[in-house]
Structure 1
Amino acid sequence: MKKLINKVEDVVKEQVEGLCLAHPELMLSEDPCFVYRKADNDSVALVSGGGSGHEPMHAGFIGEGMLRAACPGQVFTSPTPDQMFECGKAVNTVKGVLLLIKNYTGDVLNFETAVELLHFEDIPVGSVTIDDDVAVKDSLYTAGRRGVGATVLIEKIVGAAAQRGDDLGQLEVLARDLNNKSRSFGVALDACMVPAAGKTSFDLADDEIEFGVGIHGEPGIERRKTCDVQSLVADMLKELLENTGYSRTLRTWNRKEGSWDEVEAQVEDFTAGDELIVMVNGMGATPASELYGAYREVYKGLEAAGFKVARNLIGNYCTALNMEGFSVTLLKADEEALKLWDAPVNAPSLRWGK
C-alpha cells in the first residue's frame, strides 16, 4: 500500500488538522472531532458529516453560504453521536441547527441520537435524510437508497437559503423538496484502497466495471464489460431518467412533540423541458480530462432527450478515496433553486460570487 500517511490510526486527525492549517477560517475541535467556523450571522447552522474518505465532502464545504460545521468519522465509518451533539451545541444559533444526513444505517442512527440529545438541551434542531442513489434500493450499508452526490448540491442550495435568513422549518422543507428532485448513479472502473485494510476494497478484472457502485465500493446493479464513454453514459442516463414513480418512507423530527414521525415521500419524475443542475463527479482517481469527456456525453444525451442543462459542476466533490470512476447527479431545478445555486459561496472546495 502506497499512501501519504504516517500511522493508519492518525489518518483522519492529521488530515483535518492539515485542512484547518490551510484554511485558518476553519476551527478544529479535537475531542470530540469536528470542524466548524464562527457564525457570521444568526442564521440556522447547517451541519453535516459522515465517514472520511469522501473529501472534499463534507469539511471542504464549510464556509459562508454553505455548511457551518462537519463531523468526520473514521474512514468509511459514521461519526459518533457525541461528535454531532457537541458540534451542534458549539455552532447553535438562536435559529437552531439543521443536520443533513446521507442515508447510511450508521449515519442515520447516530445523527438521530444527536437530534434527540440536542432537543433535550432545548436547542431547536431538525434533520433531513438524503437518498438520491437510484442504482439499488437496499445495499450493504443502507435500508433504502444510498445518499451520495446530491448531498453536495443540497448543501449548497440550502446553505444559501440559510445565509439569507430562512428559518429552520423552511430549510427542512426546501432540503426535502430538493432530495425528491435529485438522482445519482455511479460507476467504478477500479477499486479504492482503505488505509486500515491495506488492500483494495473489491476486485475487478481488467475488462470489468461495477455499474451502479456505491461510494464505499458497495456492489451496484451488475459487473459488466468495459465500453466506450458514450455507451456507458447512455446507459447511466437511462437508469437516471427512467427510474420513475417510486416513493419511500422517511423519518422526520417533530420538534413540538419531541418524537419521530414517518412520512411518505414521492420522488418527482423528470420530463422533457425540465431545467437541470448536473454534476459529473470524480470518485478520486479519475483525471479531470476524462470527467470533461464524460460531461460532454451527459450534456449531449440530456439535450437530445429534451432537457436543459441550466448549471453544471465537474470535478471531485464526493469521492471514494482513490477509486477510479465517476458519478452523475441530476437535480431538477426551478427558478428559486437556480437563484440559490448562483448565490455566493466561500468554502475551501467551492467558491464563486462576491
Structure 2
Amino acid sequence: MVEGSSRAVQQRRRQRPTLVAAAAAPPGSEPEAEDRPFSFEPPPTVDIEGRTIGPGQVGIVDDPNNYVMTSPDIRADRTGYTPYDLIDFSDIPLKHEVVAKVDRPIGEVYALWSDRLNWPEWFGMIEELGFNEEHQDVVALNMWYRWAMTPWLELYVALERTHAEPNKYIVEEPVDGAPIVAAVLFQEAEGEPAATLVTLRISYLLPRVLYEFAGTMAVYGDVDRKLQRCMDRMKEWVEACDFQACQAENARQMANIRADLPENKRRQQEYNAQFELARQRMQQEEERQQAAEAAAAAQAGVAQQAGNEADDDGMDVVDAALQEVAANVAAATAATAAAEAEAPPAPAPKKRGGKKAAGGAVTAGKAATKRGRKKDA
C-alpha cells in the first residue's frame, strides 16, 4: 500500500484499526485490467508513435482503458494518486443495485459470499483486507478507484456486519473511513431451485473531487458498470469453485491470520510509536520555526521602531531650527516696527508758488516757440 510522505499527509493521517492482518486474493484470480489498481508488469518503453519513454518520463501509450498501472512507485511518480486522508465527501448520495444469477444452491452462494476472504476474487478494486482481533465482525478494506484520466483515489473503509440472516441477506455498515453501506440479498430463482439470484445494493457519498472533475452522472455510470462486471466475475467464480475445498482453504488461512494477530499487534504498536514520535518531532520543528519567525519579526519591529525614533529625532531638530528662524524673523519684524515708531515724522512737501501754479493754462515760452518753428521749417 502506498504511503504518502508529505507533511500534510502525515499530519492528517487517520489511525487505521489496529491488530490488522493483510489478506490478498489467492493466486489465479486476475480481475479485468480496468478494475486492477496496478500490476507488476514492466512499464511500456515506447509511446503510441514509437518514441522511447525514458526513466521518469511520461508518454502516451496505446492503452484504450487507461487503467493498467505498473507498480505503486510508478503510480505515485508517473500517474499520481490522492491519499484517503486528503479526500473529503460531498452530501450527494449515490445508490447502485446490480443483480446476478448464479447456478449454485442458495446455501453455497450465501456461505461463499459471507466469507470475506473471497471478496477480492470478484471485487477488483479491493487491494487488501484487514481483520481486527477484538471485533471479528469488522473488516477493513483498502481500495483504489479511478475515473478516466483523473488521479487514483485511495479509499479506506472499515465495515461491520450489523445484520445477517442465513440464505437471505447480509448488511455491512461503516464504523470508520468512507461512508459506504452495502447490502446483499439472496433469493432462489423462480422455477430453478438450484439457482440463486444475488442482488447487491451499495450506497455512498460522492467524493468531492469526483463531483468537481467528473460529475454525478459520469461517476454513477462508471461505478455501476464496474459493479456489474464484479457481479459477473462473482457468478463465474462461484460456479467454478470447489465449495468444500474453498471453505477448507479459507478456514486454514483465517486461522493463520488469527494466529498472527498478536505479532501484528506488536508491529502495529511499534508503527504507532514511530508515527507518534515522528509527529512529535514534526510538531517540535514547527514550533521551533514559529518561534524563530516570531523572534525575527520582533527583531524587525525593534529595528523599525529604532528607525522611527531616529526619524522623529531628526524631525525634532528640523522643527527646532524652523521655530528658531521664525522667532528671529518675528524679533526682527518687531524691532523694525519699534524703530519706525520712535523715528520723527517726515516733513510735509513744499507747495510751489507763482502765478503759474495759481491757475490757468500753461503756455509755452519764447524758447519753446522758437524751437517749434525750427521744427516746422
The TM-score bracket by the shorter chain reads under 0.3
More strand as a share of residues: 1
Structure with the greater alpha carbon radius of gyration: 2
With structure 1 as the length reference, what TM-score do the two structures score? Answer: 0.25
More helix as a share of residues: 2
